[in-house]
Structure 1
Amino acid sequence: MKTPRPVLFAAALLATVTVAACGSSAGSAKSSADAGTDVVLRLPDPGNSGFLAKGKKDGSLDRALAAVHAKVAWTGSAGAFAPAAQALSADQLDFAQGSITSAVAALAQKPGFKLFAQNAPDAVGEGILVKNGSPVTTVRDLVGKKVACSQGGTSEYLLLKALEKNGIPADQVERVYLRPDQTAGVFNSGQVDAWATWNTFSTPEIANSGAHFLVNGKDVGSDNYAVWAVRNGFADKNPAVVAAFYRYLHENGLQEKADPAGYLNVVTDSGPTAVTPAEKEVAVNVTRQGATADVITDADLVRFGTVAQFFADQKVTKSLIDVKPYVLDVSKLPGGGQ
């Protein structure tokens, strides 16, 4: 799940839609050198908010890519990273964004992608939500309670980090595994006592449903970077396109961070994908404190390794995943770096 991050403050997105819509009908991206035509870069549709949504609407992304003879084909929806990782490995998608926690889990499954960019961990937009007025006022109050989370990614990581920091054995809290798009109703009906989640889902809950963070990413000492992944075959054939796309992510992320409100409701200000006025206030605060896409440094790799070790220790993964072999140094690509 994972802008600044290109956060999509839309209604909950079905992860299964991503896989279905990223099918073979989109076709494989071809090398311009081989085909004599523009390289087609397949991206999940960015929805209604964020700099990619703006880049789709105003054509700025295609203009940036035209310099390296590439163009975008928007396909599917920007949902959970797990199905996107499968689509990358199956040559049904070329780029996708997720979290390092979900990437670590995906890297245990014979991946067909590499990580080429990172956004620093979100300190304020992700964490463990509880309802206003809940008797759960500290992490220790979660003992014996039910917490909704998605398995093997950001949600489970945040919950386990909070428990570890407070010296609480993980088995003293019941994890209720749900897809993120299925969780709001369960949470709001009181069937679970808390919800570990990220900004796509926390923003509407905080703004509209009377919820607040029990603890956020900063409180738990999160190393949960957002990361961008590229399909191996695409990167091998089109390194200059990867570099150009990275530069667009970096530069436009900085612009969104400077003016978050200008990147909300890019397509429409009404309907189910629109950010409400209350959500806008929360979203602007999160984006303003966020980070832009940047190269993956040795220091970042150390923190990626910390996440991988934590997941191995917590038995989320069956073994320790070495992330380093799956990282692409974008600064060494033709035209790479800032």
Structure 2
Amino acid sequence: MVTRRNLLAGIATTFALAACGGGKGADAKVLRVGSQKGGTKSLMLASGALDGTPYKVEWSEFPAAQNLLEALGSGAIDTGIAGDAPFLFAYQAGSPIKAIGAQSTQEREPGAIALVVPAASSIRNARGLKGRRIATTRGSVGHYLLLRTLLSAGLGANDVTTVFLSPSDARAALQTGAVDGWSTWQPYVAAALAEGDRIAVDGRGLAQGYGFDIAHESAITDKRALLDDFLKREAKALEWASTHIAEFAQVLARETGLPLPIAREFAGRGTRLPVPIDGALIERQQVVLETFRRFGEVKANRSLKDAFVLA
């Protein structure tokens, strides 16, 4: 099993090679980073955390974690952040990826992850989902929230019709009445609320809210120093964002095209900070994995501990 100690071992040598064009040629000086809408790129640019990096960061933007993880699994990018549910979903599907860092949202505000419905909907809580059509993205934190919501109300998979759609298609389906609700995450929750929808089920107490910095196995081997440096810079950026919400929101709006009020709403919803990957955190992730298994969404049984680089 890869440990954080292994990850840090040889950093001086690897970093020197990367900085002078050694290692595997020019690619050793490039870190290819995936960013979800409203995510990492805006944070790092707004905070100035990448100033002075001795390597180049190449960004790729994705609408959801599933798209980012597909690119990561294929080796098209080296690293990116995703929630616990999509990460474990992709890992159990056989993707050659590992979590090298973890983040947790402190004092989560309502609506970070939520099931939204039209304002006039009769759905008021989890029990109201029976017999309804609910949109979400397969393997996403929204999907996980829907499953935990069903369990909380004593409902099963057959009690709702789950419609798997991309965020843009799910939003359209909710607007046209093709579905009764949408289980999703920020900034999509904020966008739905701005259009007059409301939260029927909030994710607090149902979803754990962890995010993971995930890397392709080859990047962990070939770009260990770059990954470690990026994580340190990201930690500083997260700390900066906790006290510079307005500045973060300005860059977020510019980079994503989100209206500034929605960008401000997203930027102000709780402070994400790095947390160590340890045995206790991995044990908590077992709940996520077993939830997907209980509903037949995950059938593989890859070792959970091997999905993480320990701190």
Q: So what's the TM-score if we normalise by structure 1? A: 0.77
Q: Distance in 1 between matches of 2:307 and 2:57?
A: 24
Please give the residue correspondences for 1:1-338 in structure 2 after superposition, counting only pairs within 5 Å: 31=18, 32-35=21-24, 39-44=29-34, 52-53=41-42, 55-56=44-45, 60-63=49-52, 65-66=53-54, 70-74=55-59, 76-120=60-104, 124=110, 125-206=112-193, 208-219=194-205, 221-266=206-251, 273-277=257-261, 279-286=262-269, 289-329=270-310, 331=311
Task: For residue 146 of structure 1, report the CA deviation from its aligned partner.
Answer: 0.8
Q: SS at the partner of 2:22?
A: helix
Q: Distance in 1 between matches of 2:297 and 2:271?
A: 27
Contact 1:116 1:295 in 2 (8 A): no
Query: Residue type of the partner of 1:40?
Result: V
Task: For residue 56 of structure 1, report the CA deviation from its aligned partner.
Answer: 3.6
Contact 2:47 2:237 in 1 (8 A): no
Q: Distance in 2 between matches of 1:99 and 1:303?
A: 14
Q: Distance in 1 between matches of 2:253 and 2:92?
A: 39
Query: Residue type of the partner of 2:158?
Result: D
The alpha-carbon distance between structure 1 residues 223 and 267, as it changes in their structure 2 partners (threshold 3 A), is closer
Query: Residue type of the partner of 2:237?
Result: N
Query: Residue type of the partner of 2:63?
Result: G
Q: Distance in 1 between matches of 2:36 and 2:284?
A: 28
Corresponding position of 2:9: none
Q: SS at the partner of 2:57?
A: strand
Q: SS at the partner of 2:297?
A: coil
The alpha-carbon distance between structure 1 residues 127 and 282, as it changes in their structure 2 partners (threshold 3 A), is same
Query: Residue type of the partner of 2:83?
Result: S
Corresponding position of 2:11: none
The alpha-carbon distance between structure 1 residues 151 and 45, as it changes in their structure 2 partners (threshold 3 A), is closer
Contact 1:143 1:172 in 2 (8 A): yes
The alpha-carbon distance between structure 1 residues 50 and 126, as it changes in their structure 2 partners (threshold 3 A), is same
Cα deviations by residue, 1:125-149 (Å, 9 ceiling, x for unpaired): 1111112232111211111111111
Query: Residue type of the partner of 1:252?
Result: A
Query: Residue type of the partner of 1:255?
Result: W
Q: Distance in 2 between matches of 1:50 and 1:224?
A: 15
Q: Which has the higher strand share?
A: 2
Q: SS at the partner of 2:177?
A: coil
The alpha-carbon distance between structure 1 residues 123 and 321, as it changes in their structure 2 partners (threshold 3 A), is farther
Q: SS at the partner of 1:152?
A: coil
Q: Distance in 1 between matches of 2:22 and 2:179?
A: 54
Task: For residue 179 of structure 1, report the CA deviation from its aligned partner.
Answer: 1.1
Identical positions, percent: 20
The alpha-carbon distance between structure 1 residues 60 and 40, as it changes in their structure 2 partners (threshold 3 A), is same
The alpha-carbon distance between structure 1 residues 88 and 71, as it changes in their structure 2 partners (threshold 3 A), is same
Cα deviations by residue, 1:157-212 (Å, 9 ceiling, x for unpaired): 10110110111122111111111121111101222111100012111111x21122
Cα deviations by residue, 1:90-132 (Å, 9 ceiling, x for unpaired): 2211111111111111112322221111222666311111122
Contact 1:147 1:175 in 2 (8 A): yes
Task: For residue 51 of structure 1, report the CA deviation from its aligned partner.
Answer: 6.1
Q: So what's the TM-score if we normalise by structure 2? A: 0.83
For structure 1, the 5+ residue unaligned runs are 1-29, 332-338
How many matched pairs? 289
